[in-house]
Amino acid sequence: MHRRVYSLLLTASVPLAFGRLLWRSRHTPAYRQRWPQRLGFITPGPPGGVWLHAVSVGEVNAALPLIGALQHARPDLPLLVTTTTPTGSAQLRSRVGDSVAHCYLPYDLPGAVQRFLGRQRPRLGIILETELWPNLYATAQALQIPLLLANARLSPRSARGYGRWPQLTRQTLERLAAVGAQTAADGERLRALGLPPGRLTVTGNLKFDAAAPDPAPGLALRQRLGEGRPVWLAASTHAGEEQAALSAHRLLRAGHPDAVLILAPRHPQRFAEVVRLCREQGWATALRSADDAQRCAVYLADSLGELPSLMAAADIVFVGGSLGTSPTARGGHNLIEPAQLGKPSLFGPHMNNFAELRDLVLAAAAGQQVTNDADLAARLMALLADPARRAVMGQAAQALVAQHRGATARTLALINPYLEPG
């Protein structure tokens, strides 16, 4: 596909994109806000700063160690962080406040990205994970703004998707000044798609460098749920996975009648739907928003930004986006957060977005893969009956995190040449 054809198709889809924002705003009103930014109409910031793009909550969390390192290395340089979602924006503000500027990244329309980059004029752009936007990259090159892809990951499935448009993907990758990949396998997939030789460095995963969360709020929640009660968390669940978690919980409570399930859906627009599901099935359900945790069987986390505290409250963490068939299976979610807290993790078979990390966790015996709700219940019962085994798995998880630290320093070394004055 030629970039001109891509631009025409993208332009034609703009009404659909804004219609989708309006649809999502039914449950998340923030999707109705700041629409001009989606077209590049931003308030110009000081030129010559650093611009970093992190799509949503996961990428923002990965960016935090790098943001801190950049602010320490060059406190004189203004830092703009863009996100795509309101949840990413909220997470950024909750973690770094007003120490960085923020706006939404515009859609990849020629005029929109020209306005955005022309008004901001950064000396460097850093794109986290894998966001390949042909017009954004071409405009940055035309304006002589070097772009770096940091913490890059590319699953085999995503590589096949980009491979459908080989010419456009190759041209986009050729515009990158440098790439810091999470793993050698991610780097090889990028090279196979056309990343020029000599621009790739395997830097590791920035999420290993994130500061361990404060366990105190989680321990306080654990006390409110009831001392001595077994607690497990189903984290970042997608449609269909809540039903699987509730089925597993029913089986678990046959042997552990006091067990509590903390249920944390991935997307806030689904909170009301999941509350209905729990109550229709007769579960005594407490809501985080009501600050009610007394003698419930299911504690629904209808809030954002509190996943680390929920993990700290649990004995075992099931990581969602990984169980069932499409559209339930989303390729999994990050396993590093429970590992930081020394929690054994369980996850389904669909971890293609985190395949290398899954393999590390399994090899370290820090987590286990499950196949369905009955298997999930069986693993939960076995682990709850064996505190010593849980402790060994948790220690292995924390050792795994310690072993893979250092990505921030390696990424900063990749960035430093572009931060020099001039």
Query: Residues 138-177: pLDDT tens digits?
Result: 999 999 999 999 999 998 989 999 999 999 999 999 999 9
Cβ atoms of 39 and 115 closer than 8 Å: yes
What's the pLDDT band for 2 if we cut at 50, 70, 90? confident
Q: Are residues 164 and 251 in the same domain?
A: no
- Residue 99 sits in a domain whose CATH number is 3.40.50.11720
Burial class of residue 7 (count of CB atoms within 10 Å of its CB; 0-12, 13-18, 19+): middle
Q: Given a cut of 90, is residue 28 above it in pLDDT?
A: no
Q: Are residues 373 and 316 in the same domain?
A: yes
Q: Given a cut of 80, is residue 375 above it in pLDDT?
A: yes
pLDDT of residue 26: 86
Q: Are residues 179 and 283 in the same domain?
A: no
Q: Are residues 126 and 152 in the same domain?
A: yes
Q: Are residues 300 and 289 in the same domain?
A: yes
Q: Are residues 177 and 248 in the same domain?
A: no
pLDDT of residue 326: 53
What's the pLDDT band for 412 if we cut at 50, 70, 90? very high
Asked, for residue 105, whether it belongs to a domain, the answer is yes
d(CA 171, CA 169): 6
Strand partners, 103: 82
- Residue 399 sits in a domain whose CATH number is 3.40.50.2000
Cβ atoms of 302 and 271 closer than 8 Å: yes
Write down the mean pLDDT value for the chain: 93
Q: Given a cut of 60, is residue 260 above it in pLDDT?
A: yes
Asked, for residue 381, whether it belongs to a domain, the answer is yes
pLDDT of residue 414: 96
Q: Given a cut of 90, is residue 262 above it in pLDDT?
A: yes
Burial class of residue 13 (count of CB atoms within 10 Å of its CB; 0-12, 13-18, 19+): middle
Q: Given a cut of 90, is residue 364 above it in pLDDT?
A: yes
Q: What is the CA radius of gyration of the chain?
A: 22
d(CA 241, CA 250): 14
Residue with the two structure tokens 């990949």: 181
Average pLDDT over residues 328-352: 90
d(CA 361, CA 338): 11
In the residue annotation, 280 being an active-site residue is answered as no
| Stronger pLDDT, 294 or 326, i.e. the higher one | 294
Beta strands in 239-284 (DSSP E): 260-265
d(CA 152, CA 128): 6
What's the pLDDT band for 362 if we cut at 50, 70, 90? very high
Q: Given a cut of 70, is residue 109 above it in pLDDT?
A: yes
Q: Given a cut of 90, is residue 267 above it in pLDDT?
A: no
Q: Are residues 300 and 177 in the same domain?
A: no
Q: Are residues 88 and 150 in the same domain?
A: yes
How far, in Å, are 126, 129, 159, 235 from residue 207 at the CA level?
16, 11, 22, 17
Average pLDDT over residues 209-232: 91
- Give the chain's end-to-end CA distance (angstroms, integer): 37
Asked, for residue 96, whether it belongs to a domain, the answer is yes
Burial class of residue 131 (count of CB atoms within 10 Å of its CB; 0-12, 13-18, 19+): middle
Q: Are residues 92 and 168 in the same domain?
A: yes
Asked, for residue 14, whether it belongs to a domain, the answer is no
Looking at the structure of the chain, the number of domains it has is 2
Q: Given a cut of 90, is residue 324 above it in pLDDT?
A: no
pLDDT of residue 212: 84
Percentage of residues in the chain with pLDDT exceeding 90? 83
Cβ count near 149 (within 10 Å): 27
Cβ atoms of 322 and 231 closer than 8 Å: no
Q: Are residues 60 and 163 in the same domain?
A: yes
Return the structure tokens found at 371: 């196949």
Asked, for residue 162, whether it belongs to a domain, the answer is yes
Percentage of residues in the chain with pLDDT exceeding 70? 98
Number of residues in the chain: 422
Asked, for residue 41, whether it belongs to a domain, the answer is yes
Q: Are residues 184 and 259 in the same domain?
A: no
Q: Are residues 414 and 386 in the same domain?
A: no
Asked, for residue 25, whether it belongs to a domain, the answer is no
Asked, for residue 18, whether it belongs to a domain, the answer is no
Structural domain including 284 reads: 216-403
pTM: 0.88
